[in-house]
Each structure stands twice: as C-alpha cells, then as structure tokens.
C-alpha cells in the first residue's frame, strides 16, 4: 500500500467533492433525494469543510484551517484534523463522535460509521496515525491506534480495537482486533454476519467441559 499525502494542491478538489456526494446514494438506502443529502447529512458537511481546511492547511494559512475544523466538529460532531489526507468517495454515516488525527491517510471509497477513531498512541512527531487503503469499512465504535497500515477491502467490526497492521482482504473483530477472515469483498453493510470470536471460544470451552463431565460420570 503506497498511499501518501499529495503535493500542494492548486485548487479545491471539486471532483472529489462530487464523489463524496454521489457515493451516499449507493451506500445509504435512506438517501432519497439530493436536497435531503445536501441538507441533512453531517458526514457530507464535515467532508466539505475538511476539503477546504485541508487545502488551506497545505498553503500554511494560519489559524483558519483549525478554526474550520473546529466549526465542523461543533456543527457535525465529527472531528477531522485539517492535516489528515482523505481520498474521494468517502462516506461517514451518521458520524457522531468520529475522530481522525492529523497524519491519518484514508483511501478512496471508505465507509466509516459513528464513534470511529483513527488516533495516535503517544506524543511522538511525524507519522503517528493510521493509513487506510481503499474500500475499507470501519464499524461503529471501531478504533485504529498508531501508525498502522490497513490494507484494501478490509472490514473492521463494530467496537474492535486494532493495534497491528492488517493486510488487504481481511476481516478484523475483537479487542484487541484479530483477523478472522482473509476473504474480504463481502457486503460492507452485512455487519451481522461478522464472526463472533469470543462466542466461538466460549462455545468450544463449554463443549470441552461437557465432554469431561461425561467422562467423569462414566468412570464413576
């Protein structure tokens, strides 16, 4: 994965803004018309403000980029640092509580649900936030912490905390996050079909206990 921050842009990425708008209709069955999407989708509003603040950030305009980021947080509940690099066609669904750090990089057509955090783990300088590939899905409450690389078509289950790099086409669930599948490309909205690792382990232990109890009964 070779995502990196682009060079100084010469103009605002209008094509990217259009992709951010269009992708909502393919990702959200509740999106009925363009007016509703324009007025009632805080994820889109946060992205528009971020595109502007990121453009200003690259030109080292003082104060204004951070102030726009703060306004976006105040009005949408979504905090995106103006230094973060976001690809096109990103959909932040609902979005309340989403936090994206300064050196985070997000690829194209990623799907991010509420309370997701792309954060750092210390006070070091330089690259300290995650890099997400293309078509990554992050379930509600998922966290990716540190300078990690998340590959393309990765699905991260709701509430998972990822502390290690994840290769492409994997599904990650749990705390800490563990790879439970290496055959990605599932429907990004089928969160109910993600495996429950803890439940599987508990079921295995219960089965083993039952087998041991049966053996003890047979011996007695």
Backbone angles phi, psi at 136, to 5 degrees: -85, 140
Q: Is residue 189 situated within a structural domain?
A: yes
Q: How many domains does the chain have?
A: 1
pTM: 0.81
Residue 192 confidence (pLDDT): 61
Q: Is residue 166 situated within a structural domain?
A: yes
Residue 17 confidence (pLDDT): 86
**For 99-139, what is each residue's pLDDT tens digit?**
999 999 999 999 999 999 999 887 778 899 999 999 999 99
> How distant, in Å, are the alpha carbons of 26, 28, 45, 156 from that of 23?
5, 9, 14, 20
Alpha-carbon distance of 181 to 187, in angstroms, equals 14
Q: Is residue 153 situated within a structural domain?
A: yes
Q: Is residue 124 situated within a structural domain?
A: yes
Backbone angles phi, psi at 70, to 5 degrees: -65, -40
Residue 191 confidence (pLDDT): 63
Residue 57 confidence (pLDDT): 93
Q: Is residue 2 situated within a structural domain?
A: no
Residue 175 confidence (pLDDT): 87
- Average pLDDT rounded to a whole number, residues 6-25: 75
Q: Is residue 195 situated within a structural domain?
A: yes
Residue 146 sits in a domain whose CATH number is 2.160.10.10
Domain that holds residue 130: 14-219
Q: 80 falls in which pLDDT band (50, 70, 90)?
A: very high
Residue 99 confidence (pLDDT): 96
Q: Are 179 and 155 in contact (CB under 8 A)?
A: no
Q: Is the pLDDT of residue 194 over 90?
A: no
Q: Is residue 3 situated within a structural domain?
A: no
Strand partners, 144: 118, 162
Structure tokens at 22: 């269009």
Q: Is residue 73 situated within a structural domain?
A: yes
Backbone angles phi, psi at 7, to 5 degrees: -70, 175
């Amino acid at each position: 994965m070779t995502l990196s921050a682009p060079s100084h842009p010469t103009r605002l990425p209008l094509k990217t803004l259009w992709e951010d708008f269009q992708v909502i209709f393919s990702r959200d069955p509740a999106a009925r018309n363009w007016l509703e999407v324009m007025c009632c989708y805080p994820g889109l509003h946060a992205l528009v403000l971020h595109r502007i603040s990121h453009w200003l950030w690259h030109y080292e305009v003082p104060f204004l980029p951070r102030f726009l980021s703060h306004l976006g947080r105040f009005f949408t509940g979504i905090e995106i640092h103006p230094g973060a690099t976001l690809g096109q066609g990103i959909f932040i669904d609902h979005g309340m509580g989403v936090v994206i750090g300064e050196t985070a990089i997000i690829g194209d057509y990623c799907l991010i649900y509420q309370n997701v955090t792309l954060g750092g783990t210390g006070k070091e300088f330089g690259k300290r936030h995650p890099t997400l590939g293309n078509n990554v899905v992050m379930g509600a409450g998922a966290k990716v912490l540190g300078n990690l690389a998340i590959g393309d078509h990765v699905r991260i289950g709701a509430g998972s905390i990822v502390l290690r790099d994840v290769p492409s086409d994997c599904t990650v669930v749990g705390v800490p996050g563990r790879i439970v599948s290496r055959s990605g490309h599932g429907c990004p909205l089928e969160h109910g079909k993600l495996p429950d690792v803890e439940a599987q382990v508990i079921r295995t232990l219960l089965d083993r206990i039952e087998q041991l109890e049966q053996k003890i009964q047979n011996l007695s």
